Amino acid sequence: MARLFCYLTAMALTILALPVRAEDGYDLWLRYAPAGQARGADISAHARAISARGDSATMASAKQELQRAVTSMTGHAPALTTEPAAGSLWLATPGSTPAIPVPLKGLGAEGYAIRSIDRAGQPVTLIAANSDIGILHGVFHWLRLAQTGASLDRLDIRSAPRIGLRLLNHWDNLDGTVERGYAGQSIWDWWRLPDYKGPRYTDYARANASIGINGTVLNNVNAKAESLSAPYIAKAAALADIFRPYGIKVYLSVKWTAPMELDGLKTADPLDPKVAAWWKAKADEIYRAIPDFGGFLVKANSEGQPGPQDYQRTHADGANMLAAAVKPHGGIVMWRAFVYAHDNPDDRAKQAYDDFKPLDGKFADNVMVQVKNGAIDFQPREPFHPLFGAMPKTPLMMEFQITKEYLGQSTHLTYLGPLFEETLDADTYAKGTGSTVAKIIDGSLDGHRLTGIAGVANIGIDRDWSGSIFNQADWYAFGRLAWNPDLSAEAIAREWTAMTFSPDPRVIDPVVAMMMGSREAAVDYMTPLGLAHLMATGHHYGPAPWVSELARPEWNPVYYHKADADGIGFDRTKSGSNAISKYAPAIARRLADPATTPESELLWFHHLPWDYRLKSGETLWDGLVHRYDRGVAYVADMQRTWESLRPLVDPERFAQTKAFLAIQHREAQWWRDASIAYFQSINHLPLPAGAQAPAHDLNWYKARSFPYAPGHN
């Protein structure tokens, strides 16, 4: 007896000593946390068995995902059957099942229907699609319902993606660094590929498939020619093989001068037949290794990258030559409109428009022009890019930045859903009211079939993938909006929070509230009232509105704020650069007058006196200071809210977020203080009543230096 007791005690101690798996964020929104007894029983009742006939790799992944998820949420593994019985999840495609009791028309190759049906008197949940990939997407939808506590009864859902190409752009370098990456080194282990293929690649594909992402550009837009060499094509092919069952295609960024660098051609002139032949042969070589290769992404004649303009050819000449090379294989070219040149003295916000607008209608039918959301560069807030609405004959692709180069990098909690939503919902008036940016990129406004959206990834080898738990929400939101640009950022935040933390409303409500105001808070403490591009040089970490000595004028923050003793802001009206004329007349008219310009974009479009009266009645200067303070205060509020969640969040993720919020608060204060110290040195105005003086003098802020800040290109 005593021996048995000792034995049991030892066993209990062993069990207690087993490491409980820490919530380190690796599982993202696919945690499948135990659902509790009642909910677990409900999920079990709807997933007693997984019934499916197909045996493709995609179908196998769908079944595996369901088994893993249901087992983890309920403690019971569903059976695997071919015929649906009571409580089955029935996965059906026309290829595997003769008569599917829901219409599949309109679902396309990637969409799905989920319906609660009665089959021979038995309740069954049918997930049906035209393809196995559609099934996989439907499975992830059902798992989202299961994870968020939604009803699993009487389902009648149909969903198909509104945008065809939903891509991540990795700015990952071949040496393992990531340009503007704040989550550690690249997840592509180029060195050990193609021989070693770690498990993380599959988890990457699962996560992306779960939000509908269907393509990934593996390498940096500032590309190296070597990405197109035979060994690197083999490495890319190894990744493509892993991603294929998840419906994810691989694409590559290309360097314009690759034919010269790799094979010694004398020129990269797109109209030179030898150059065209080189690209054709290269495309053939790639497609032999990767039969479903997606195509090329190109940054040309921008920020020092070579391009067709070096040979007096246009962007269209360049894009069309590449397009011809991939066309026989069904590939596409994504040509970036992020161009501006040091020898062009005109407002940087106009340059891409001036280059590309005249080329509308001149691109081959497998070319898309990829346009950043705003005309400068992923700032905390930018008006939508005027090219949206200005090139009806060209399919325009949206480029968002998921990685937060300008919004607090890895540590600030600034949920980007509202930023994405604001741009997608913006009305271009291209064809009258309601011509939203979303309708341009989903092709509906101008009748384009080729449609796309790209997000610059925030993924690295950090255990939590994105540098912070909350940054995962930006990846998630990008995918969800790419599938359906009409979703609300708030609804997406609710889903994400339920899956990432808990479906408990005591968690969801405060967390979502924090998230929803967080981007506006960053705008407030960094660049309120339409200011932009005031960050430090190179790494872009922290404030430096005083920088004025860099070689190219448009690299200097002073170029953007134009503050002087009399006022502040960039005059983009007729009396200034007239960038407003690039917008539809209905918008341009509104922007011509500061009184009818949204205050959130005021100093983007106008240079105004410091004592200009804002709508609140306060002066511009006082309003600026109040916004800085409001931003800092918001972060303090988030800290308090987060502290109140301590009992409801696991210790690991609680601690990370708490520490990061403290960093964010310190840095918000720094942005506020440095900006005020600098602008005050120019306008010599007193601070509004009650506002605190900056903690240090201007020289102290100017002397900050961060040679090792991450993400630098």
The binding site for ligand BDP (CB under 6 A) comprises 179-180, 221-222, 299, 303, 338, 377-378, 405, 713
3-class SS of residue 530: helix
Please, which residue, 52 or 217, has the CB nearer to ligand BDP? Answer: 217
Please, which residue, 251 or 278, has the CB nearer to ligand BDP? Answer: 251
Structure tokens at 654: 């609680």
Please, which residue, 23 or 405, has the CB nearer to ligand BDP? Answer: 405
Handedness of CA 227, 472, 292, 395 (dihedral sign): negative
Please say if 23 is a catalytic residue. no
Smallest distance, Å, CB 184 to ligand BDP?
17
- Matching residue, tokens 């807030």: 381
Q: What is the dihedral of CA 522, 524, 527, 528, to 10 degrees?
A: 150
Query: Can you tell me the distance from the alpha carbon of 309 to that of 64, in angstroms, rounded to the nearest whole number?
Result: 50
CB 89, CB 77: distance < 8 Å: no
Smallest distance, Å, CB 538 to ligand BDP?
9
Smallest distance, Å, CB 427 to ligand BDP?
26
Burial pattern 344-363, b for ≥16 Cβ within 10 A else e, equals eeebbbbbbbebbbebbebb
Structure tokens at 134: 């559609």
Query: Can you tell me the distance from the alpha carbon of 560 to that of 695, in angstroms, rounded to the nearest whole number?
Result: 25
Residue at shortest CB range from ligand BDP = 713
Please, which residue, 48 or 533, has the CB nearer to ligand BDP? Answer: 533
3-class SS of residue 574: coil
Smallest distance, Å, CB 674 to ligand BDP?
20
Smallest distance, Å, CB 526 to ligand BDP?
15
Please say if 405 is a catalytic residue. yes
Q: Which of 179, 355, 405, 442 is catalytic?
A: 405
Which secondary structure element, helix H or strand E, spans residue 418, and what is its range?
helix 417-425
Structure tokens at 459: 């993924």
Contacts of 192 (CB under 8 A, 6+ apart): none
Please, which residue, 454 or 580, has the CB nearer to ligand BDP? Answer: 454
Residue ranges in 244-347 assigned as alpha helix (H): 258-263, 273-289, 315-326
Please, which residue, 159 or 169, has the CB nearer to ligand BDP? Answer: 169
Smallest distance, Å, CB 399 to ligand BDP?
8
Q: From 359, 409, 336, 35, select the one nearest 167 (Cα to Cα).
A: 336
Q: Which of 23, 132, 355, 377 is catalytic?
A: 377
Please say if 179 is a catalytic residue. no
Smallest distance, Å, CB 544 to ligand BDP?
14
Distances (CA, A) of 438 to 9, 97, 374, 699: 63, 36, 14, 45
Please, which residue, 243 or 340, has the CB nearer to ligand BDP? Answer: 340
Structure tokens at 69: 């998820």
Q: Which of 189, 203, 292, 303 is catalytic?
A: 303
Query: Which residues have a catalytic role annotated?
Result: 303, 377, 405
